[in-house]
Structure 1
């Protein structure tokens, strides 16, 4: 039923998109790369992520996720540059993408889907600090290096080293479970 104030085309997919874009934009904006939610949402739309929201089967599989993610990041950086953003590198792009997909799929009830299990989790200083402190996976050197570099400044290779470390530490578990070590909820 339309009350006259709600667009008739507004459904759960659009609702997930708006919420996930808001959360991703707020999480990925840093003091060295500030952007508003509208800009983050436009970047997400430019790289085509909303088209995936209808079904986790549309997500890349385990074999392809890293290459597709790298391309999403490259496209996000290009879009951010076109929007006049400075400091929007691979780390910021990855956080924008990862929080968006986390909100839409991991927290959207698809956490056990094979494609969702391999989605990259959001990387930030709180997670890296805890991984380092707890020596998660026995990979203290990996976490120390990433902490020193700062998540928002990671380039594609440095970011991928963190993801490889998370895969090793999770030992076959869904990658989102590494966030058991994230203390940002506190």
Structure 2
């Protein structure tokens, strides 16, 4: 296979997604090699272009399908601790970690490099992490006039019920936050909610 821009983009997306989903996962098998294997074996790589996305109304189901496929693949994986190379331990990829791999991969390959204003792209989910969620839960108190009552109620309920520790999120926690984000965006692209994400604030390795 010749090395073209699609392969170039894919490799960069594997790196960005792998770095993001592994936060706080040292020793748990969260290597770049595992991230690449998960992305490629779950066939997420097949959906790295705009033409492969479904219609906007089917994006939610599509994202959840890709997350589920990645989790299913992860169940066949194992890892060894550095000090116990002869002991194989089960690899655990939570819904929270899987969403990070899926959403960062799609953010890198499609949202940031193709038609960001396409309706299907606008419906893709933003990757959730502690920095973004803390910023969103603070919005009703910091900028009460800029958010709706519905959003304020939804985001506070999400934090109360699920916290902001995204690495342990299950599907319910993920959906609760995505639904709140939709209320905030009011039909605007979901990727644009990351105006509230500040990478320079990431200090905690579990962020």
TM-score (structure 2 length as normaliser): 0.79
Q: Which runs of 4+ in 1 moved over 4 A?
A: none
In the alignment, structure 1 residue 23 sits paired with structure 2 residue 16: yes
In 1: Cα distance, 2:118 partner to 2:157 partner: 28
In 2: Cα distance, 1:50 partner to 1:20 partner: 10
For residue 159 of structure 2, what is the aligned residue in structure 1? Answer: 144
Give the length in aligned residue pairs. 178
Residue 152 of structure 1 and its aligned partner are, at CA, apart by 1.2
Structure 1: which 5+ residue stretches go unaligned? 1-7
- Structure 1 residues 142 and 110 mapped into 2: Cα distance closer, same or farther (>3 Å)? farther
Residue 147 of structure 1 and its aligned partner are, at CA, apart by 5.8
In 2: Cα distance, 1:42 partner to 1:77 partner: 12
In the alignment, structure 1 residue 109 sits paired with structure 2 residue 98: no
Residue 157 (structure 1) aligned to one of 160, 172, 184: 172
Deviates more, 1:22-31 or 1:128-137: 128-137
For residue 119 of structure 1, what is the aligned residue in structure 2? Answer: 124
Tell me the SS of whatever aligns to 1:64.
helix
Alignment deviations for residues 39-78 of structure 1 (CA, whole Å, 9 cap, x no partner)? 101111112122222x302112222122222221111112
Flag the structure with higher strand content: 2
Map 1:1-186 → 2, pairs under 5 A: 9-32=2-25, 33-53=28-48, 55-84=49-78, 86-135=91-140, 137-138=151-152, 139-145=154-160, 148=163, 150-185=165-200
Residue 31 of structure 1 and its aligned partner are, at CA, apart by 2.4
- Structure 1 residues 59 and 184 mapped into 2: Cα distance closer, same or farther (>3 Å)? same
Deviates more, 1:72-81 or 1:133-142: 133-142
Residue 144 of structure 1 and its aligned partner are, at CA, apart by 1.9
Q: Pick the structure with greater CA Rg.
A: 2
Structure 2: which 5+ residue stretches go unaligned? 79-89, 141-146, 202-207
Alignment deviations for residues 78-133 of structure 1 (CA, whole Å, 9 cap, x no partner)? 21221225331111000100000001111103211111111110000000000011
